[in-house]
Amino acid sequence: MKDYFEIDNFLTDDDYGIIEQNSAKIESFIDPNGVFKGTESAKQQWFNESTALGTLIKSKLEQIELLRGIRIDGMQVADMLKPYDVHGDYLVQKNQKAISDPTMHDPMYTIIIPLVEGEYHTIVFDQKADYNNFSDYKEKNAELAEHVSDDDWQKYCGHCHAVDQKYLTIKKVLHWHKGSLMAFNRRCFHASANFVKPKRALVLWSSKSN
């Protein structure tokens, strides 16, 4: 398994019509403990494989060797209003309740398919864990002598907790391109880069299928 990979032009023009027809309920995501705690950070439309959109995405994933035969733990269309700070996706949650079981299905990739073009990025860090909360990681690990540079931190992660910088090194800056696919290890801590204008994407979480 790779820590990350990218595929250009994953979506076709016809696919966008099916995405726009998605009628799943729109739900607010209220940041439970991040830098924007207590505020709406995103609007989410969760859908499953039984829908037209779910069937489309699953069939397209089957055409990618690295994703063939995977299990999908969750899928959503996400309108991101504020940038997420440092976190992991080891456990998939909906409304703060687990919808995946890592003991039964080993987590594989977080998959992001941008639906907009713009100066958007996702920052994947070298640091990994079998849990989501970076606060737990900081309690168990020492600060690094060589960490994310001040310039890169302010450029990409200025919205994050300042102390987090000293525990992190950047593995990859993933640049958003409409219709492309970006995938990275769910154990890797990651964050949205700074942005002002809201962004939209399909977001999926995959695991090994037994």
What's the pLDDT at 34? 78
What's the pLDDT at 209? 86
What's the pLDDT at 95? 83
Q: What is the pTM of this model?
A: 0.96
| Residue 186, burial from CB neighbour count under 10 angstroms (0-12, 13-18, 19+) | buried
Q: What is the CATH number of the domain that holds 170?
A: 2.60.120.620
Type of residue numbered 121: H
25 bridge partner residues: none
Q: Which domain holds residue 80?
A: 4-207
Q: Which two tokens stand for residue 12?
A: 């076709």
Full DSSP string of 78-89: EEE-S---SB--
Q: Which two tokens stand for residue 6?
A: 């990218």
- Provide the residue-wise pLDDT of the chain in tens; the chain has 210 residues: 999 999 999 999 999 999 999 999 999 998 887 788 889 999 999 999 999 999 999 999 999 999 999 999 999 999 999 999 999 999 999 988 899 999 999 999 999 999 999 999 999 999 999 999 999 999 999 999 999 999 999 999 999 999 999 999 999 999 999 999 999 999 999 999 999 899 999 999 999 987
Q: How many CA atoms lie within 13 A of 94 on its CB side?
A: 17
Total domains in the chain come to 1
What's the pLDDT at 72? 97
